[in-house]
């Protein structure tokens, strides 16, 4: 079965009746399942996670964007998180039986539909980006809703789909495709924050480490222990095992070790099967050997 | 979702039309799915693997036993594999969301139904055994179909359900519950069979190793390498990681190492998640964090 995940962000985190109607729009598509919805009042933003087959996910994302455009007025929106529209971003994520290319194609179809049918300017970002600069979502969001009202008229800020002017209430939307992200924390047997910071610096792409890894060193107050907190942005490029082994090796250089690790939230089965395959040195293992995959 | 696996063995491996009708009987239960069926002509025996929710699996196993009793005449059965009846054994295996105790209860319900409705004597074995000796299937099968015709009249060989005399054509059936079995082979960078044998002896229960491990040392002719071939009979007692690490440690003692390992056939997801959890030192990981489990 082909499974795509979609994690749209909506610019409403306070009026729960509005959030509920957006969730209803998603649920109205048969076969689509909402896994999570979390609203943040200070960000005034709601992040929804849902999954389903590609066409169902596209339809659900469209209906949600349509509903958000009806119910959210960006002229009255205030919140701490950067945003450009009522439906701020819609990332599509290949989970199972689907390639990244298929998700890119799906994102472009979805973007075109939102642009043309809802008259909302759509920017393609990350893997779905047509303009290289838009791979980085921050470039798309520059100026936010308020600034983009003028900037969108400049040719280089023209949207990929829809009109080159902001929707009067819904603003604009960024639609993209990206690999599944795994939030992964590794705990050290030290309270020396500097060690966690040094290890984080070693592994993260922005300072010369793995390009698909983001990492910070933090001190966990409850346990008074240092932690390397990591976003594995593409576990197919850098597996959890490689992250773990690299952190282990760097920790040893400081005379400390790993007491444990934790996965925050959901993780695709493949990321954990990869780790089992690596450590058990499994040859020729096929994911469909997993009994549950046959059901 | 509660998932039980059932691996019944039928005393027919030559007449494929008979096998097909037994498979049809299983398929006739909605929600039950056949994962595999393999027939062996010299054993004159067919092993079917199917899965489903507990009540569906029980019903499918009953219908299959009923069909086998109609179509297979043990008076005319010859084959190399020990057997006591048309439906020789029916093991029930907890896969997901089901405890062993639930499978034991299910096996006893199924045994009672086969005994009473089909007048076939039923022996409960392995985890479902009521009489301790019957934990070992070999004790139930002693004398096979032919010998059991007389032996079943002795009080200590009386069945747990059904009449104390063999069904005139279908014989008797053993119904049991057991943990999932993982067939796991570990390859060494040597062609010294004695090393593989020595390692196998170290890890297997019958010679003082892990009680739920069966293991042999063999030489793989195609690659001319020694292999430890293992049945992990209860991966919840002895994980794949512990098996791997023990074999690794023993191999090093002989100056050899592990080149790779392989899982033969199907494996429950939990067995591989265990390995990932062990090596990544995952704390507080819950199987329902696996995205696919939410679908």
pLDDT (average), residues B270-291: 94
Report whether pLDDT(B295) > 80. no
pLDDT of residue B13: 95
pLDDT of residue B283: 95
Which residue in the set A263, A272, A285 is minimally distant from B263, CB to CB? A285
* pLDDT band with cut points at 50, 70 and 90 for residue B1: confident
Cα dihedral: B276, B277, B279, B283 (round 10): 150
ipTM of the complex: 0.81
From the list A126, A117, A108, A104, the residue with the least C-alpha distance to A69 is A117
Closest Cα of chain B to A269: distance in Å? 6
DSSP B171: B
Report whether pLDDT(B60) > 80. yes
Which residue in the set B35, B258, B290 is minimally distant from A267, CB to CB? B290
pLDDT of residue B182: 94
Q: At what angle do helices A240-253 and B269-279 cross, to 10 degrees?
A: 20
From the list A243, A176, A192, the residue with the least C-alpha distance to A9 is A176
* pLDDT band with cut points at 50, 70 and 90 for residue B2: very high
CATH 3.30.990.10 domain residues, chain A: 3-177
Closest Cα of chain B to A155: distance in Å? 41
Q: What is the mean pLDDT of chain B?
A: 95
Which residue in the set A275, A289, A290 is minimally distant from B280, CB to CB? A275
Closest Cα of chain A to B174: distance in Å? 25
Per CB-CB distance under 8 Å, the chain B contacts of A189 are: none
Closest Cα of chain B to A282: distance in Å? 5
Q: How far apart are CA B72 and CA B10, in angstroms?
A: 9
Could you tell me which chain A residue has the CA closest to the CA of B279? A279
Per CB-CB distance under 8 Å, the chain A contacts of B260 are: 281-283
C-beta atoms of A291 and B51 within 8 A: yes
The string of pLDDT tens digits covering residues B214-258 is: 999 999 988 999 999 999 999 999 999 999 999 999 999 999 999
- Fold of the domain built from segment(s) B3-177: Formiminotransferase-cyclodeaminase; Chain B, domain 1 (3.30.990)
Phi and psi at A81, nearest 5°, equal -85, 135
User: What percentage of chain B has pLDDT greater than the value 90?
Assistant: 92
Which residue in the set A263, A266, A280 is minimally distant from B275, CB to CB? A280
Say which residues have a Cβ less than 8 Å from residue A211's Cβ, sequence separation at least 6.
A205, A237
Q: How far apart are CA A291 and CA B268, in angstroms?
A: 5
C-beta atoms of B282 and A263 within 8 A: yes
pLDDT (average), residues B46-69: 97
Phi and psi at A13, nearest 5°, equal -135, 10
Q: Testing the interface with B: which of A280, A290, A294 to mutate, by most B Cβ within 10 A? A: A280
Could you tell me which chain B residue has the CA closest to the CA of A293? B269
Catalytic annotation present for B43: no
pLDDT of residue A229: 94
Residues on B contacting A at a C-beta cutoff of 8 Å: 3, 5, 33, 35, 51, 95-96, 180, 187, 240-241, 244, 258-263, 265-269, 272-273, 275-276, 278-285, 289-295
Catalytic residues of A: 81
Q: Testing the interface with A: which of B291, B293, B295 to mutate, by most A Cβ within 10 A? A: B291
pLDDT (average), residues B134-143: 94
The string of pLDDT tens digits covering residues B146-177 is: 999 999 999 999 999 999 999 999 999 999 99
- Fold of the domain built from segment(s) B182-291: Alpha-Beta Plaits (3.30.70)
Closest Cα of chain A to B122: distance in Å? 29
Which residue in the set B260, B280, B294 is minimally distant from A244, CB to CB? B280
pLDDT of residue B215: 95
Per CB-CB distance under 8 Å, the chain A contacts of B289 are: 263, 265-267
Q: Residue A271 to residues A88, A100, A239, B75, B292: CA-CA distances in angstroms?
A: 28, 16, 7, 53, 12
pLDDT of residue B292: 86
Q: Testing the interface with A: which of B181, B280, B284, B287 to mutate, by most A Cβ within 10 A? A: B280
pLDDT (average), residues B265-273: 93
pLDDT of residue A267: 94
Per CB-CB distance under 8 Å, the chain A contacts of B280 are: 240-241, 244, 261, 275
Could you tell me which chain A residue has the CA closest to the CA of B36? A294
B7 conformational bin, left if phi > 0, alpha if psi -120 to 50, beta if neither: beta
pLDDT of residue A283: 95
Residues of chain A with pLDDT under 50: none
Per CB-CB distance under 8 Å, the chain A contacts of B266 are: 289-291, 294
CATH 3.30.70.670 domain residues, chain A: 182-291
Q: At what angle do helices A240-253 and A269-279 cross, to 10 degrees?
A: 60
Cβ(B177)–Cβ(B100) below 8 Å: yes
pLDDT of residue B293: 84
Closest Cα of chain B to A17: distance in Å? 25
The string of pLDDT tens digits covering residues B90-113 is: 999 999 889 999 999 999 999 999
C-beta atoms of B261 and A272 within 8 A: no
From the list A58, A44, A48, A2, the residue with the least C-alpha distance to A23 is A48
Q: Residue A236 to residues A99, A192, A268, B16: CA-CA distances in angstroms?
A: 12, 31, 11, 44
pLDDT of residue A81: 87
Which residue in the set A259, A263, A291 is minimally distant from B266, CB to CB? A291
């Amino acid at each position: 079965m082909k499974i795509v995940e979609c994690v749209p962000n909506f610019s409403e985190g306070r009026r729960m009746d509005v959030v509920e109607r957006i969730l209803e729009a998603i649920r109205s598509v048969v076969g689509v399942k909402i896994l999570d919805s979390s609203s943040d009042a200070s960000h005034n933003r709601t992040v929804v996670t849902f999954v389903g087959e590609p066409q169902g996910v596209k339809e659900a994302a469209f209906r949600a964007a349509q509903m958000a455009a009806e119910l959210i007025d960006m002229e009255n929106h205030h919140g701490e998180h950067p945003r450009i529209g009522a439906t701020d971003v819609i990332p599509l994520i290949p989970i199972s039986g689907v390639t990244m290319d298929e998700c890119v194609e799906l994102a472009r179809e979805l973007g075109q539909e939102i642009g043309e049918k809802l008259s909302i300017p759509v920017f393609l970002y990350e893997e779905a980006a047509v303009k290289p600069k838009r791979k980085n979502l921050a470039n798309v969001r520059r100026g936010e809703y308020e600034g983009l009202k003028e900037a969108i008229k400049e040719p280089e800020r023209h949207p990929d789909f829809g009109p080159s002017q902001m929707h009067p209430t819904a603003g604009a939307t960024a639609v993209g495709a990206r690999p599944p992200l795994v939030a992964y924390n590794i705990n050290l047997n030290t309270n020396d924050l500097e060690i966690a910071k040094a290890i984080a610096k070693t592994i993260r792409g922005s300072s010369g480490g793995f390009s698909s890894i983001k990492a910070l060193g933090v001190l966990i107050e409850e346990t008074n222990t240092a932690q390397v907190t990591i976003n594995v942005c593409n576990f197919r490029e850098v597996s959890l095992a490689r992250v773990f082994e690299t952190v282990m090796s760097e920790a040893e250089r400081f005379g400390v070790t790993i007491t444990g690790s934790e996965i925050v939230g959901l993780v695709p089965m493949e990321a954990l099967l990869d780790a089992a395959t690596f450590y058990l040195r499994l040859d020729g293992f096929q994911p469909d050997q997993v009994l549950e995959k046959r059901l």
